[in-house]
Structure 1
Amino acid sequence: MAPCQIRRYQDRDWHVVRAIFAEGILQQGVDHFWLQLKRPRNFLLLLGGPGALLLGSGSLLLSLLAILGLLAILWLVSRYPFSYYVDHSLHTDLWDIRASYLNDKGSCFWVAESGGQVVGLVCACPAQEISEGHKHLELFHLSVRRDHRGQGIARTLTQTVLHFAKDKGYNGVVLSTYSLNYPARRLYESLGFWKSHEALNTSKWSIRALSVTHYKLALSPSS
């Protein structure tokens, strides 16, 4: 594992943390596209539609163009929720990171440095939902640069959030991630998070509903 230093966000990190975040989320859009290709219904559509066109018109070129057109539509539909989320985040909380996460003692934004370069990030702020009077911290935007994954950086960043939550007296940490993000889910579960529920993200920007898994981790003075 390469040496990694975790520190608070500084204004000079603005461009690089936004780029790392965008790259990570958009990669999930690519993964979602390949997942959709493997679904039997979509696979049959890609083969059946152009196949029927070939039988009806006898034109191989027209059939190939139909396949390309269907692939392009599937690519746009699969990628759109992720690209919208990136655009929305870059123009809201990640536009003024200091105001969003560093002006409140109950929030924070961290970056991971390796070899003098920022290679990862995570942030957290008080959760909006309060259950039974308990105070929870919500983890957001865990991202690690692609060429630095598999080195334990995401785990270290997540543990930094857990230590912060304990120090600030939070009762637990909550987070949500797309259900198809299996590496993130394995990480959270290995750290003791448990799945509280799973729901479809059907907000107005989502062309196709995506399953989102919500996690919780209870904290205690002895944890």
Structure 2
Amino acid sequence: MKVHRLTSGEESLWSRAVSVVVAEEDREGPLVSQREIAQALGDSRCYLVVAEADGDPVGLLSAYRFPDVVTGGELIYLYDIEVRFDHRRKGVGTTLIHSLIECGQEDRVRLIWAGTDVMNVAARRAFEATGAKLEGESYAEFEWRL
């Protein structure tokens, strides 16, 4: 398995990963445009990581870095992690997270933060296997659609 953070010029790989890894019923609207992907890949605060097996995308992770305006330093929010159904429970998720941790260390980030439903056993298992500590007992998600 090959896992790496994408850089400018790899927009088509991200598009392919999203179309293959993220189930159509889980997508909200049309796929991201090549222009939007290029913009994200050109921003050092955005992390787009893809796992490939035999040249095919089997997992993806997106995260972004921002300043902690309360205590200083920078944080990374792990926004999305997806693994193709036929590659789950094979270490793809943990490998993606380890790749993000390495990126965070290189960027001198002091904290990576992720949230998930307490009933999402697969996500919790991957987070715990990579050294994350559970900080709360429940998770509530709110959205403002603009």
- TM-score, normalized by length of structure 1? 0.55
Of structures 1 and 2, the larger Rg is shown by: 1
Q: Aligned-residue CA RMSD in angstroms? A: 2.7
In the alignment, structure 1 segments of 5+ residues that lack a partner are 27-82, 206-223
Alignment-derived partner of residue 47 in structure 2? 108
Alignment-derived partner of residue 18 in structure 1? 18
Alignment-derived partner of residue 6 in structure 1? 3
Alignment-derived partner of residue 147 in structure 1? 86
| Cα 1:136/1:11, change in 2 over 3 Å | same
Aligned residues: 141
Check if 1:87 corresponds to 2:28.
yes
2:140 to 200, 208, 212: 200
Please say if residues 112 and 120 of structure 1, whose CA atoms lie closer than 8 Å, have aligned partners that are also in contact: yes
Alignment-derived partner of residue 74 in structure 2? 135
In the alignment, structure 2 segments of 5+ residues that lack a partner are none
The Cα of 1:143 is off from its aligned counterpart by 0.9
Alignment-derived partner of residue 97 in structure 1? 37
2:118 to 149, 161, 179: 179
Higher deviation after alignment, 14-23 or 163-172: 14-23
Name the aligned partner's letter for residue 37 of structure 2. I
| Cα 1:175/1:95, change in 2 over 3 Å | farther
Task: Indicate the structure with greater helix content.
Answer: 1
The Cα of 1:124 is off from its aligned counterpart by 1.8
| Cα 1:139/1:88, change in 2 over 3 Å | farther
Alignment-derived partner of residue 47 in structure 1? none
| Cα 1:14/1:109, change in 2 over 3 Å | closer
Name the aligned partner's letter for residue 121 of structure 2. Y
